[in-house]
């Protein structure tokens, strides 16, 4: 099994996310409560969910880096996928809460918008945008599902803060120019945020569910594996080729046919070279399982299977 430990930058990124979410949660809830801003308050509770999500991602990353053991021979990579699914659930719940608060606020007398609430939303939007780029870059580099899900969570916060900026800004304009209808910009913006966050929750949840349900990698990825296997002249036929993600690494399962007159040692050497070639060309591949079948010159050519 390939080394599946996470680098120091990954752990630093998730700690930065956790501390940032705690700070923004406190700031938004305090300011949103003091100045009765539904969208800012809802965004604060959304950030409270992010604290749980970041803590779950940190825990899952520590678990997923553990080496294979007797009970988990394929490693612990799916711990991150479970964390990613949890982020999706938290985002979905946050979206429903934001929508409910926004609808309630629409049917109440709107409060006067606050400049401090606007500044808080702007600071949150800029900081979350920076966190998104930072965590996504490291998450993709390390192929960390938990960190990538956290990055998408930051992106959802960017949408939420942008809507808060627009909503609170409209409220300020409504107060300044005495346009009552603009005072409802805050709760309407909260409703828009709810839709955007819910869509993101569905995207993250579906991706995590696909991995947990052992969905195969893309057809293009399988084709690339097949082309590499065919570079070995001893391989006469690929009887089956499968691959699936197991968290931040991929497991490949191959059944192939080689000449029946080759010795066991020769067959062993061929599969060893093939396994090393696949891993060298694909750093995210954690294990390659190869089963060898005998091939005879008069074998009927059968279509290759990739499932």
Q: pLDDT tens digits for 247-270?
A: 667 889 999 999 999 999 999 999
Average pLDDT over residues 243-247: 78
Q: pLDDT tens digits for 68-125?
A: 677 666 666 666 677 777 778 887 887 888 788 778 878 877 767 788 888 998 999 9
158 vs 170: CA distance, rounded Å: 18
- The domain that contains 17 carries what CATH number? 1.20.1510.10
* 62 Cβ contact partners less than 8 Å away, ≥ 6 residues apart: none
In a domain, 2, yes or no: no
Residue 3: its pLDDT value, please?
Answer: 43
In a domain, 34, yes or no: yes
Which three-class secondary structure state does DSSP give residue 296? coil
Full residue range of the structural domain in which residue 31 is found: 8-212
Residue 128: its pLDDT value, please?
Answer: 92
1: confidence class by pLDDT, cuts 50, 70, 90: very low
Do 134 and 5 form a contact (C-beta atoms < 8 A)?
no
Q: How far is the CA of 116 from the CAs of 11, 98, 112, 157, 303, in angstroms? A: 33, 21, 12, 19, 67
In a domain, 304, yes or no: no
Is the same domain home to 104 and 241?
no
Which three-class secondary structure state does DSSP give residue 3? coil
| pLDDT of 304 higher than 60 | no
Is the same domain home to 48 and 178?
yes
| Tokens linked to 98 | 């934001």
In a domain, 301, yes or no: no
First to last CA, the chain: 22
Task: Give the domain-ending residue among 192, 212, 232.
Answer: 212
| Tokens linked to 193 | 């945020």
Calculate the average pLDDT of the chain: 81
Do 50 and 204 form a contact (C-beta atoms < 8 A)?
no
pTM for this model (two decimals): 0.61
């Amino acid at each position: 099994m390939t080394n599946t430990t996470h680098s120091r930058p990954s752990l630093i990124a998730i700690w930065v996310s956790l501390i940032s979410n705690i700070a923004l949660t406190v700031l938004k809830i305090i300011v949103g409560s003091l100045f009765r801003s539904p969208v800012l308050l809802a965004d604060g509770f959304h950030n409270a969910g992010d604290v749980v999500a970041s803590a779950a991602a940190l825990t899952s990353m520590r678990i997923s880096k553990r080496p294979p053991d007797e009970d988990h021979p394929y490693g612990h990579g799916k711990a991150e996928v479970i964390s990613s699914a949890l982020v999706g659930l938290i985002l979905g719940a946050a979206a429903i809460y934001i929508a409910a608060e926004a609808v309630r606020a629409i049917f109440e007398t709107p409060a006067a918008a606050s400049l401090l609430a606007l500044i808080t939303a702007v600071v949150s939007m800029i900081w979350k945008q920076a966190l998104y780029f930072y965590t996504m870059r490291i998450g993709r580099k390390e192929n960390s599902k938990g960190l990538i899900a956290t990055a998408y969570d930051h992106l959802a916060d960017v949408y939420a803060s942008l809507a808060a900026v627009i909503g609170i800004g409209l409220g300020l304009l409504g107060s300044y120019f005495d346009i009552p209808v603009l005072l409802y910009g805050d709760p309407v913006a909260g409703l828009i945020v709810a839709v955007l966050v819910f869509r993101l929750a569905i995207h993250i949840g579906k991706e995590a569910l696909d991995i947990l349900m052992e969905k195969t990698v893309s057809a293009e990825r399988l084709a690339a594996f097949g082309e590499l296997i065919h570079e070995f002249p001893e391989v006469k036929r690929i009887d089956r080729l499968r691959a699936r993600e197991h968290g931040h690494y991929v497991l490949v399962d191959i059944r192939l046919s080689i000449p029946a007159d080759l010795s066991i040692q020769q067959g062993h050497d061929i599969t060893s070279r093939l396994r090393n070639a696949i891993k060298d060309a694909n750093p995210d591949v954690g294990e390659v399982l190869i089963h060898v079948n005998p091939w005879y010159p008069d074998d009927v050519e059968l279509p290759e299977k990739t499932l």
